[in-house]
Every structure is written in C-alpha cells, then in structure tokens.
Amino acid sequence: MKILMLNPPFLFRFSRTSRSPAISKGGCVYYPIWMGYATGVLEKAGHDVKLIDAPARGTTLEEVIELAKEWKPQLIVVDSVTASFNNDVKVTETLKDLNPNAFTLMVGTHVGALPELSLRQSKKIDAVARGEYDFIVRDLAEALEKKKPLENVLGITYWGEDGKIKFTPNMPPIEQDGLDAMPFASEVYNRHLKIRDYFYPSVLYPEVTIITGRGCKFRCTFCKWPQTLTGHSYRARSVKNVVDEFEWISKNLPYVKDIMIEDDTLTQDKQRTIELCREVINRGLKVTWTCNARADVDLETMQWMKKADCRLMCVGFESADQTILNNIKKGTRVEKIEQFMVDSKKANLLVHGCFMMGNHGETKETIKKTVEWAKKLEPDTAQFFPLMVYPGTEAFKWATDNNYLSTKKWDEWLTPEGTHNTILNTEHLSAKELVAGCDWARKEFYMRPSYIFNRFKLMVTQPREAPRLIMGAKTFAKYLLDINFWKKSAAAKQVS
Ligand code: SF4
C-alpha cells in the first residue's frame, strides 16, 4: 500500500515533535521522531512509504499537493500538535479533497488527548490514533488493504458507517521485543530526510536523535509525552540493540558528531544505563552521545557515562522552590538536585538545565529564587520558559479548572512569529510578567562575566564544543538586540 507519512507544512522550522512545539529561539529543529519509527515499521511490513518533513525542509503545501496528485497515496497519516492543529486539519482536508479514496489518519499528542473533539472538526479526517501509533498505523494499513473491519484496529477513534464516532480499545504499550524489532530510526532518517536539517543547541552538529526507551514512571504534571503518548510504564530496547544502532551510525553516517537520546529519561534504570556504557566501551566504539536525564543520576553512573563518551545531560530542574516541586509532582528535592550538579562536575559531564516558570505556587519571589539558584548550580547552558500547558496533561486541567487560560483557541498557543505564546494568567502572575520574568532570567544567567569566561575556557579545553557555543552566542546576541527584549526587560524589573 502507498502511505504518505506527513509532518505537514506549517511555519518553517516548526518542531512538532518537541515536547513544547514552537519555532525555537535557539534554532532547535527536531526530527519527526515518532513518524520516523512508524515509517520504519510500515516499510518492514512491506508498504511503500514516503516520509515528508515539510517544516524542516521548507516544503510548501503546493509541493505536497503535487506529490499527492502524482503519487496517489492510499493512506495519508498527518502529524499534529495543539498549536498547529487547525492548520493540520486544513492540510488533511485538502489532501482528502484531492483524493477522496485515500484514508486520512491524524496522529500525535493533541488528537490522542482529544480524539472525539478532533474528529468532530472535520468529516474529512477518517480517524485519529491515540497514543504511540507505530503499530496502530501498521494494523490500520493491513485492515484497509485486506478490507477488514476497522473495529479490530486497536487505538483508533473513527467515523463509523452509521455516521457515529467509534472508539476501539487502546493499543497496549510496545514492549522490548517489539521495540527491538523496529528498524533503526537513524536508517529511516537517512533514507527519507536530510540529516543536516536538524539541530539542537545543546548537541554537537550534525546529530541524529533516537529513542532507546519509552515512557516515564514519574508523573510531573506538565510533562506531555508520558501523559499523552508514551505512558508511565518504562519499556526499553535491549542494550545490544541500542549499541548496534550506535555502531550502524558510526559506520554509515561518519559525519554525525553526536547521538541525541531523546527518551523521556534515559537514566531511569541505573543497571541498564551502566550496561549500555559498558557495551559501548567493550565494542571500542568512538561515538559521542547526549541524553535526557533526571537529576537523580549518581556519581558512579555518571562516571560510566563519561567513559562511554556521553558529553551532556539535559535535565529538568524546574524550580528552586520545594513547594513548587511538590505541587508539580517532580518527585525530587532541591538538595538532591544540588548534589547532582556537584557530581556532574566531578564526572566532567556537561548539563543543560531546564527551568520553568508559572507552575502552581509561582510568585515573583520564587522566580527570583530560581534564577539565583540557576546561577549557583551553573549548568553549561540553561533555558527559562513559561509553563506551556497542553490538553491531556494535569497542568492543562489545573489551568482550565482555575480559569487561568486567556484563550482556548489552539492557534494562540503561538505568537504570530511561531514562538511560544504565554497564555497563562495565574492569581500571582500575569502572562506578561511570566514572559518578562523569563527574559530577565536569561539575561541574568548568560550575561555574567564569570559565565562568559567559563564558556571561553570550555572552548579551549574541549574544542568540539566551540561551534555550538558560538552558534548559541550568535542566537542570543540577536535576541538581545531585539528591541522587544529591552522593553520586556524593563517590565521585568518589576518582577525582580
Ligand atoms: S521525570 Fe521528566 S520525563 Fe518523567 S514525567 Fe517528569 S519531566 Fe516528564
């Protein structure tokens, strides 16, 4: 069957796969990771698949229409997130109009969280998938090809023949055997995408992003993937399978400088993390990698990671205030995070720290406290973002229950330029104050002479870090020159 896997045209370099999708001020462009895995599964099942990542390439709707006219896909799978949902429905409708016999399926975190509401947007969306959709699209393609009833395809919500909306039972989470049997995402990217289109400011360029384990056992209220896509049971690929992919990348994509492991949290299983490092070392692989981690990795694990050439961990610290950490169910303590930073420095691993503002309990005082704490923790790089809430998360429910959202129009989750739009006004802080607080935090963190001096030192001691630091500095300089920044900073004085 001919299947079009479409990350649909929208704003140039809009990252749908990001946990908080937007155009990144730091230039970040994510791979269409989940579409990549599903593409591999479909190809393995014998289908003829095209994976198009329109925002990364700058592919226009007209170009997608041309492709659909010529190639005539029988199944069209369209990725979607909250901020681009209205656009994505229009793209789906356009493609359905062109080829009414094609089956249209929307996938992704937004439609998975709001399946019925999403489907009701248009009769031209034939179905939506709920949760991890690799096996859902595989089973749907088989059912369509063999003309089997859709009621046996798990994990979909669709229009029944009687014009009513039908739900099938959920698709069970994919366990290790199923994950190991999937083609490597890196192979799929190499066949369908341009590796150099993708960029993470904290990762060496060029890079490939892979997933080695899905789901997170923690329950942070704001965190989108475990609540809408991957769930809370942690399922991981075998160490052998992951290191086989490392080896494949080093042989077949020798220009790739870094492997980004985009698991919710790679380090959830200490034993597996150490085994992974051991296997990389035993095979004598020269691969550099970066991962997401929680601030509970111990020194022993970090030392193994360093030996296996892990260079950086992306970690969510969120807030210096223990009450806020408790409110958002972060499951950690301020002191533990401080010890983590001490250990990461001993192990000589870099850390990208994520700080979030606007969570339950946030005030001007806690923002100030978090910024002072960030300076004391001194990660290599830091991001300060206002809380963005998405349907399906506990944070979204908290915000709607308390009437904190200034809009429910999905388009307004973005500014006209495509960057995050803060739509949260809590009892203590307005959206404007949150944005101003984050702008002020970035300036406070990055404009310190000691920070600048240490980055120069890092470029001298670890020259491979220089290109991304220079690129990051240029982006930040542009941001500083933005007149709005100074206006917002002036407003931020009130916050500080
Ligand atoms: S630990 Fe990290 S990945 Fe897991 S729920 Fe919390 S923020 Fe999300």
pLDDT at residue 492 in the model: 47
Distance 315 CA to ligand 1 centre (A): 9
Per-residue pLDDT tens digits for 173-191: 999 999 999 999 999 999 9
Pocket test for ligand 1, best of 220, 315, 352 (most atoms within 8 A of CB): 220
Tens of pLDDT, residue by residue, the chain (496 residues): 999 999 999 999 999 999 999 998 888 999 999 999 999 999 999 999 999 999 999 999 999 999 999 999 999 999 999 999 999 999 999 999 999 999 999 999 999 999 999 999 999 999 999 999 999 999 999 999 999 999 999 999 999 999 999 999 999 999 999 999 999 999 999 999 999 999 998 999 999 999 999 999 999 999 999 999 999 999 999 999 999 999 999 999 999 999 999 999 999 999 999 999 999 999 999 999 999 999 999 999 999 999 999 999 999 999 999 999 999 999 999 999 999 999 999 999 999 999 999 999 999 999 999 999 999 999 999 999 999 999 999 999 999 999 999 999 999 999 999 998 999 999 999 999 999 999 999 999 999 999 999 999 999 999 999 988 887 788 777 777 764 544 554 444 454 4
Q: Is the CB of 264 under 6 A from ligand 1?
A: yes
**Can you read off the two tokens belonging to residue 302?**
């970090």
Per-residue pLDDT tens digits for 306-324: 999 999 999 999 999 999 9
Q: Whose CA is nearest to atom 3 of ligand 1?
A: 264
pTM score, whole prediction: 0.94
Query: Torsion over CA of 299, 305, 309 and 314, rounded to 10 degrees?
Result: -90
Q: Is the CB of 220 under 6 A from ligand 1?
A: yes
Q: Could you tell me how many residues make up the chain?
A: 496
Distance 226 CA to ligand 1 centre (A): 8
Q: Which residues contact 435 (CB under 8 A, 6 or more apart)?
A: 386, 422, 488
Question: Do the Cβ atoms of 414 and 24 come closer than 8 Å?
Answer: no
pLDDT at residue 482 in the model: 66
In the chain, % of residues over pLDDT 70? 97
pLDDT at residue 37 in the model: 98
Question: Do the Cβ atoms of 211 and 184 come closer than 8 Å?
Answer: no
Per-residue pLDDT tens digits for 278-293: 999 999 999 999 999 9
Pocket test for ligand 1, best of 20, 212, 224, 294 (most atoms within 8 A of CB): 294
Distance 294 CA to ligand 1 centre (A): 8
Q: Is the CB of 393 under 6 A from ligand 1?
A: no
Question: Do the Cβ atoms of 78 and 32 come closer than 8 Å?
Answer: no
* Ligand 1 atom nearest residue 329's Cα: 6
**What are phi and psi for residue 489, nearest 5 degrees?**
-65, -35
Q: Which residues contact 323 (CB under 8 A, 6 or more apart)?
A: 361
- How deeply is 475 buried, as exposed, middle or buried, from its count of CB atoms within 10 A (0-12, 13-18, 19+)? middle
**What are phi and psi for residue 409, nearest 5 degrees?**
-85, 120
Q: Is the CB of 231 under 6 A from ligand 1?
A: no
Q: Which residue has the tokens 């730091």?
A: 26
**Can you read off the two tokens belonging to residue 119?**
């489907």
Distance 115 CA to ligand 1 centre (A): 24
pLDDT at residue 483 in the model: 47
For residues 377 and 291, give the distance between their C-alpha atoms in angstroms, rounded to a whole number: 19
* Ligand 1 atom nearest residue 219's Cα: 5
Q: Is the CB of 316 under 6 A from ligand 1?
A: yes
Distance 301 CA to ligand 1 centre (A): 19
pLDDT at residue 196 in the model: 96
Distance 379 CA to ligand 1 centre (A): 19
Distance 154 CA to ligand 1 centre (A): 27
Q: Is the CB of 216 under 6 A from ligand 1?
A: yes
Type of residue at 488? K
Pocket test for ligand 1, best of 265, 266, 390 (most atoms within 8 A of CB): 265
* Ligand 1 atom nearest residue 294's Cα: 1
Q: Whose CA is nearest to atom 6 of ligand 1?
A: 220
pLDDT at residue 484 in the model: 56
